[in-house]
Amino acid sequence: MSEGVLRDVASLVVRLAIERGATDAECTIAEGDEFSATVRLGEVETLKEAGSRAAGLRVLLGKRQGSSYTSDLTEDGVSQMVDAALAIARITEEDPFAGLPAPEELGQITVDLQLAAPDVAQVEAAARIDSAKRAEATALAADTRITNSEGASCETYSGCRVFANSRGFLGSYASTTASLSVTPVARQGEEMERDYWHSVSRSWAGLEAPEYVGQKAAERALRRLGARKIETCKATIVFEPRVAKSLLGHIFEAVSGESIYRKSSFLLDKLEQQIAAAAVTIVDDATIPGYFGTSPFDDEGVPSRRTVVIENGVLKNYLFNTYSARKLNAHTTGNAARGLTGAAGIGHGTLYLEAGSQTPEEIFAAVGTGLYVTELIGFGVNTVTGDYSRGAAGLWIEDGKPGYPVAEITVAGNLATMLQNIVHIGSDLEFRGSTCAPTIAIRDMTISGK
């Protein structure tokens, strides 16, 4: 369906809900087309092509709320969705804080945010296959020890999101994504190691060259060969950007208004306090044209904005949707996020740690001895207590340089202490997704090994 038709459907859903007795209503519609090609050992492995769309509705009956969704956007389908939301709202209880944003809070950014690139829709299937084949071929040719591959994948996505509510908001935007990745396998004797490189862009032209993607992936897999488990010790940990950004994800959870009103955050009651090293500034910005965290409005129809979360180590702001803001007598920061349905949760725009001045090489030299972490696995992070313990792999830093590979170890600490112990921040910030960080060094963490 065209964006215009989807806007009409969203408006109709809201109107139907009000006609049938809702006090307020909001409707989200998402539509998308996905195309993907995967290639393995030079041969096409899968081709996938499809489009889908679905709608979600939230209604309020006074201070009660109910939600529903459907993938059937026919007249009958949306009518049933409206009835379902109204029916289920009757079993919920009155929540004095439930409701839509105030009318004056609604709105959207009207400048072109460059979220949709015209070249994505024009990519032919053969071009996706060709990119994936070239990336994998480069990886396989990089070294005789690259003996196998889990394959390479090239995907494009074009989508559209529409939001309407009963306070007069109607907005929509299109977005596109292109991505290319390859996962080669390196072998040395009995040992096998894999790694990957992933390039993602709003436009097809913005993707890194397939040969670059293949070369990076091969280098990463190769440097893991010969991995050792090391002795349990305390050390400075240097997180490369790809893993450093996961720390921002944990901070996001801890500053989200939901965690704050539930008192389930290690950053509760810490506003205006020095919670991190003075060099740490973390910003959430959903307004930067072309970035992955950008949108003209949030999922409640509030304009996107820039919010400083931590400035020079001081906690400045929590991130709110309308509900959590009302619970805490604050105002929404335009951070409402939801799939299609239900009360909105909280999300972020482009959440990033501001770059420092040192190159990664300068950081290794300054650290002298420590662990350079290039992969983290597992879910051992508790943002209520700050307890942090994850599986890791990387390179041991000796004499100021990354040396032999290390695996089958964990790195552990507590997020509250880790934030204070950030001793170096790299200059190598790149915006590759919606959370972004440069290289970070944190002193005095525990490595658990032999």
Partner 1 sequence: MSQLSNLFGQKFGLTERDLERYLSEALSKGGDYADLYFEYLATSSISLDESLVKSATQGVTLGVGVRVLSGERTGYAYSDDLSPDRILKAARTAACIASGPATEIKAGLTTGEKHDFYPVPILAGETPLAERVKLVKRADAAARAHDSRVFQVQAIYADSVRHVLVATSDGRLSTDVQPMARLNVAALAREENGVPQRGYAGGGGRVGLDFFGGAHSPEAFAEDAARQAVVQLHAVDAPAGEMTVVLGPGWPGILLHEAVGHGLEADFNRKGVSAFSGRVGQQVASPLCTVVDDGTIAHRRGSLNVDDEGEPTQQNVLIENGVLRGYLTDKLSARLTGGTSTGSGRRENYQHYPMPRMTNTFMLAGESAPEEIIKSVKNGLYCSNFGGGQVDITSGNFVFSASESFLIEDGKLTAPVRGATLIGNGPEALKYVSMVGSDLKLDLGIGVCGKEGQSVPVGVGMPTIKIDQMTVGGTR
Binding to partner 1 (CB under 8 A) within 181-200 occurs at 185, 191-194
Q: Which is nearer to partner 1, 53 or 202 (CB)?
A: 53
Q: Which is nearer to partner 1, 108 or 410 (CB)?
A: 410
DSSP assignment, residue 105? G
User: In angstroms, what is the minimal distance from the CB of 361 to partner 1?
Assistant: 27
The whole-angstrom separation of Cα 99 and Cα 118 is 38
User: In angstroms, what is the minimal distance from the CB of 353 to partner 1?
Assistant: 24
DSSP assignment, residue 358? B
Strands 282-285 and 306-311 turn out to be antiparallel
DSSP assignment, residue 102? P
User: In angstroms, what is the minimal distance from the CB of 345 to partner 1?
Assistant: 11
The whole-angstrom separation of Cα 440 and Cα 421 is 10
Q: Establish if 262 lies at the interface with partner 1 (CB under 8 A).
A: yes
The whole-angstrom separation of Cα 447 and Cα 391 is 10
Q: How far is CA 373 from CA 238, 379, 405, 441, in A?
A: 6, 16, 10, 10
- Total residue count of the chain as it appears in this document: 450
Q: Judged by CB under 8 A, which of 5, 42, 46, 404 binds partner 1?
A: 46
User: In angstroms, what is the minimal distance from the CB of 446 to partner 1?
Assistant: 4
Q: Judged by CB under 8 A, which of 289, 377, 398, 430 binds partner 1?
A: 377
For partner 1, the binding residues in 211-250 under the rule CB under 8 A are 224, 227, 229, 232
For partner 1, the binding residues in 135-154 under the rule CB under 8 A are 148-150
Q: Which is nearer to partner 1, 53 or 134 (CB)?
A: 53
User: In angstroms, what is the minimal distance from the CB of 365 to partner 1?
Assistant: 27
Q: Establish if 178 lies at the interface with partner 1 (CB under 8 A).
A: no
Q: Establish if 115 lies at the interface with partner 1 (CB under 8 A).
A: no
Give residues with Cβ within 8 angstroms of 206, minimum separation 6: 117, 178
- In this chain, which stretch among 103-111, 296-304, 312-320, 377-385 interacts with partner 1, using CB under 8 A? 377-385
- In this chain, which stretch among 158-166, 282-290, 365-373, 375-383 interacts with partner 1, using CB under 8 A? 375-383
267: left (phi over 0), alpha (psi -120 to 50) or beta: alpha
Strands 370-377 and 233-239 turn out to be parallel
**Six token digits for residue 169:** 């908001």
Q: Which is nearer to partner 1, 341 or 358 (CB)?
A: 341
Q: Which is nearer to partner 1, 81 or 286 (CB)?
A: 81
DSSP for 136-181 reads HHHHHHS-TTEEEEEEEEEEEEEEEEEEEETTS-EEEEEEEEEEEE
User: In angstroms, what is the minimal distance from the CB of 450 to partner 1?
Assistant: 6
DSSP assignment, residue 255? H
Q: Establish if 47 lies at the interface with partner 1 (CB under 8 A).
A: yes
**Six token digits for residue 178:** 């292109």
- In this chain, which stretch among 48-56, 197-205, 279-287, 303-311 interacts with partner 1, using CB under 8 A? 48-56
Q: Establish if 413 lies at the interface with partner 1 (CB under 8 A).
A: yes
For residues 373 and 240, the answer to whether their CB atoms sit within 8 Å is: yes
Q: Establish if 410 lies at the interface with partner 1 (CB under 8 A).
A: yes
Give residues with Cβ within 8 angstroms of 194, minimum separation 6: 150, 183, 184, 185, 186, 221
Q: How far is CA 5 from CA 27, 56, 78, 117, 339, in A?
A: 14, 16, 14, 21, 20
Q: How many residues bind partner 1 (CB under 8 A)?
A: 80
Q: Which is nearer to partner 1, 57 or 238 (CB)?
A: 57
User: In angstroms, what is the minimal distance from the CB of 404 to partner 1?
Assistant: 15
Q: Establish if 379 lies at the interface with partner 1 (CB under 8 A).
A: yes
For partner 1, the binding residues in 54-93 under the rule CB under 8 A are 54, 56, 65-72, 80-81, 84-85, 87-89, 91-93
For partner 1, the binding residues in 279-308 under the rule CB under 8 A are none
Q: Judged by CB under 8 A, which of 3, 8, 33, 387 binds partner 1?
A: 387
